[in-house]
Amino acid sequence: MKTVRLPKTRLEAFGAVLQGFGEVHAPVEDGSVHVFQRLEDWSAVCLDYMRTVLPPKKYFLPPRETMFRYSPESGYVACTDDLDRKLVLFGLHPCDISALNILDLVFGGKYPDPYFQARRKNIAIVGIDCIPDEHCFCRSMRSDIIDHGFDLFLYDIGDHYLTFVGTARGDDMVLAAPTLFEEISRVDIDEYKRRSSIKRAAFQIDLEIRDLPEIFDMEYESTIWQTLGARCLACGSCSMVCPTCYCYDVVDQVELGTDTSTRERTWDSCLFSSHARVAGGENFRDCQADRIKFRFYHKQRGFVAEYGRPSCVGCGRCATSCPIGIDIVEVLRGLRGVDHVRDS
């Protein structure tokens, strides 16, 4: 992969160059939290954030979007608003980029989702590396290091960002800033390797995931699910903040007094009692214990069967956003029955 370096002092200048590739959105401080939003001024960017409240999925699968407009004359006409908007998402962590790669599996396939695909094409991604905190387990979920899914990826190596160029568009970004980037040296490579080991050693959580599907099958009747079901408030926060939760609901909205309507999709959660309920009232997941079990089961077991990896990237958002403190790491450790804390 083409690799160059960007002196940190030139980051702001590069930010200005990126404006030529689309509206730049980046993590900014919002009270005590961080959110991805449009960058009005480069000084607002916050690159040493831990995790944003909502993941970047909101740009690709918006919380609410109009899919069709219906009228008796024209039938269902696809809504293309916003699909062509060019954006540059700046400062994504590896877990969030990995999550978008996972969403690609779902929204591609035999029936590609044209809304998701259009946004994926029009939104550029510049990632940046990070140091894990006590909730991060991306390394266990094989999402701490990514080799695709970004146009550019920046590693902090002191006075410079080592910059991996992942796509032709990323290369164009570098070429558009010929005076900003430099060739890398042996010293940079060594510094990258040194910092990579430091990051690896910083993980406080180490989970074995390879036989999790088998454990989930065997522990399907475990009392752990009843205990969790009794605690879960069914608020759905974990699904909303999850970078890979993709369940959505579809509703038609009639424009009052007309025979035209819109068809919208909105984020949904398998923790809501309506998720598996069919017309007539039958509910295939009738109690909260079944629903919270399903959420874990689908991520760690079902997704593996379908796509060959769990749909969890270990970002820690669900654990930090749960109002009653349900922590996925504790759940997975509880299922395995062994404490897998790394002793260092």
Partner 1 sequence: MSVTADPATRPVLRDNPFAPHMARIVRVFKMVPDNHLFTVRFVDDQLAGQFDHRPGQFIMLSVPGTGEAPISISSSPTRPGVLELCIRRVGRLTNALYRLPPSGLVGIRGPYGNGFPVEQMEGSDLLLAAGGLGMAPLRSLLWYAIDNRDRFNNITLMYGARTPADMLFRDELVSLADRADVNCLLTVDSDPTRAWTKHIGFLPALFDQATIDPATTYAAVCGPPAVYRFILERLLRLGFTKDRVLMSLERRMKCGVGKCGHCSVGYKYTCIHGPIFTYWDAINLPEMV
Q: Give the binding site for partner 1 (CB under 8 A).
A: 67-68, 70, 72, 75-76, 78, 80, 83, 106-107, 109-115, 117-118, 220, 246-252, 254, 259, 261, 263, 265, 268, 270, 275-280, 284-285, 290, 294, 297-298, 301-306
Query: Given the complex with partner 1, which of 275 and 317 has the nearer CB atom?
Result: 275
CB nearer partner 1, residue 107 or residue 153 = 107
Strand runs labelled E in the chain:
2-7, 23-30, 33-38, 64-71, 75-78, 87-92, 123-128, 152-156, 160-165, 182-183, 248-254, 261-267
Which residue, 12 or 306, is less far from partner 1 as judged by CB?
306
For residues 170 and 151, the answer to whether their CB atoms sit within 8 Å is yes
Minimum Å gap between C-beta 54 and partner 1 is 18
Residue (44 or 218) nearer to partner 1, CB: 218
* Residue 187: φ, ψ to 5°: -60, -40
In sequence order, what are the residues at sequence separation of 6 or more whose Cβ sits closer than 8 angstroms to the Cβ of residue 273?
A: 234, 283, 288, 291
Q: Which of 100, 98, 210 is nearest to 143 (CA)?
A: 98
- The residues facing 66 across adjacent strands are 264
- Least Cβ distance, residue 216 to partner 1 (angstroms): 9
Closest approach of partner 1 to the CB of residue 271, in Å: 12
Could you tell me the smallest distance in angstroms from the CB atom of residue 70 to partner 1?
Answer: 5
State how far the Cα of 336 lies from the Cα of 222, in Å rounded to an integer: 11
Q: Which of helix, strand or coil describes residue 317? A: helix
Q: At its nearest, how many Å lie between partner 1 and the CB of residue 101?
A: 16
CB closer to partner 1 out of 3 and 117: 117
